Amino acid sequence: MNKKIKWGIAGLGNIAKKFASDLNLVPEAQLVAVASSDIHRAESFKRDFNVDRCYGSYEDLFDDPEVVVVYVAGLNNHHKTVVLAAIAKGKAVLCEKPLGLNSGEIKQMIAAAYNNHCFLMEALWSRFNPAIQKAKQWADEGVLGQVKFLYSEFSFYKMDADPTHRLMDLNKGGGALYDIGIYPIFLAYLILGMPEKISAQSQLGPTGVDVQTSMIFQYKNAQAVLYCGITNNSSNEAKICGTEAEIVLPGRWHDTEFITLIRNDEVSTTNLPTVGVGYTHEINEVNQCIAQSLTESSLWSNQNALELALLIEKVRDISGIKN
């Protein structure tokens, strides 16, 4: 790829900073413009990340003819509006996870991208992590035999957050399931597909969001045990166990650089380094898709994003989560 893909960012909060520092590590990408609802935030972001232009409105960013792809990094409850506005101006879009608050929103975004021939991808960055790619490859190639059991957790302590913090606020798409439950559910979906049956229980906190949720996904020949929470700092490990071997992804598994294969009492660990914080891998995927004029990624398609949302909705419905 000899031409740089020109990027813009809409919404300049915590994740946008990490993403921009990774974008600057990708030789085939150039961050040309950023936009925030607050022009002062946009100006300081422009200085910090050496960006050509900044705007005090997202619409101005979407009208910038040099911007080819927009990274949408605002709050969950704004993703749909911002994504639809970018697509209406013909921009390719990488949108933070979860792509939408529910499957209905995601269907709308997919239809808009299709009708406007625009690229669209949910920023499910773990899908592009080298160790997770390896786990998927080994599972698909039968290195594990038949996968019978998967365990995955993701939690951190955040009970001291202000009630207005996005994690604590139902209206901002808060709670453990919507913020981090997406990761263990993603791993089960990636390796085992759609389950036949789901059981789940949640505990709700003082602001009404779920502070922890435990799930069992039942497949024809396998089970997945999944957990997410903001009540404790767990080791955040994942395991994929088959009839012939087992994979361990050490904590924090969703951005790990290591993968361990245990087979016949033999334990071998492989180091698969990530570049930067780890967002470079999804950035490379988007660049390659755009360079090939594709409207979606084959590694994380919009159907994948939709099915993941359907699983989250199912867990939400049976566990009494109010989002």
Ligand X SMILES: NC(=O)c1ccc[n+]([C@@H]2O[C@H](COP(=O)([O-])OP(=O)(O)OC[C@H]3O[C@@H](n4cnc5c(N)ncnc54)[C@H](OP(=O)(O)O)[C@@H]3O)[C@@H](O)[C@H]2O)c1
Q: Which is nearer to ligand X, 78 or 107 (CB)?
A: 78
Distance CA 174, CA 316 (A): 12
Could you write out the three-class secondary structure of 126-148?
HHHCHHHHHHHHHHHHCCCCCEE
Spatial contact of 284 and 26, defined as CB atoms under 8 Å apart? yes
What is the 3-state composition of the chain as percent helix, strand, coil, each rounded to the nearest 5? Answer: 35, 25, 35
The 3-state DSSP class for residue 21 equals: helix
Could you report how far apart the first and last alpha carbons of the chain are, in Å? Answer: 42
CA angle 69, 28, 252 (to 5 degrees): 80
Nearest to ligand X of 28, 60 (CB atom)? 60
Closer to ligand X by CB, 55 or 151: give it. 55
User: Cα angle at 266 between 264 and 272, to 5 degrees?
Assistant: 125
Output 64 or 179, the one with its CB closest to ligand X. 179
Question: Which CB, 147 or 308, lies closer to ligand X?
Answer: 308
Pick between residue 74 and residue 181 the one whose CB is nearest to ligand X: 74
CA distance 203 to 200: 10
Minimum distance from residue 151 beta carbon to ligand X (Å) = 21
Kindly state the smallest distance separating residue 68's Cβ from ligand X, in Å: 20
CB of 75 to ligand X, least distance (A): 5
Write down the least CB distance from residue 276 to ligand X, Å: 12
- Least separation in angstroms between residue 264's CB and ligand X is 36
Min dist CB 260 to ligand X, Å, is 23
Dist. CA 113–CA 95, nearest whole Å: 12
CB nearer to ligand X: pick between 125 and 138: 125
DSSP 162-219: -TTSTTT-GGGT-SHIIIIIHHHHHHHHHHH-S-SEEEEEEEE-TTSSEEEEEEEEE-
Count how many residues are written for the chain.
323
Task: Choose between 161 and 204: whose C-beta lies nearer to ligand X.
Answer: 161
Quote the least distance from Cβ 11 to ligand X, whole Å: 4
- The answer to whether the CB of 122 falls within 8 A of the CB of 98 is yes
Smallest gap, in angstroms, from Cβ of residue 17 to ligand X?
Answer: 8
Q: CB nearest ligand X: which residue? A: 13
Residues that bind ligand X (CB under 6 A): 11-15, 36-38, 41, 73-76, 78, 96-97, 123, 125, 166, 179
Those residues whose C-beta lies under 8 Å from the C-beta of residue 37, and which sit 6 or more positions away, are 56, 57, 58
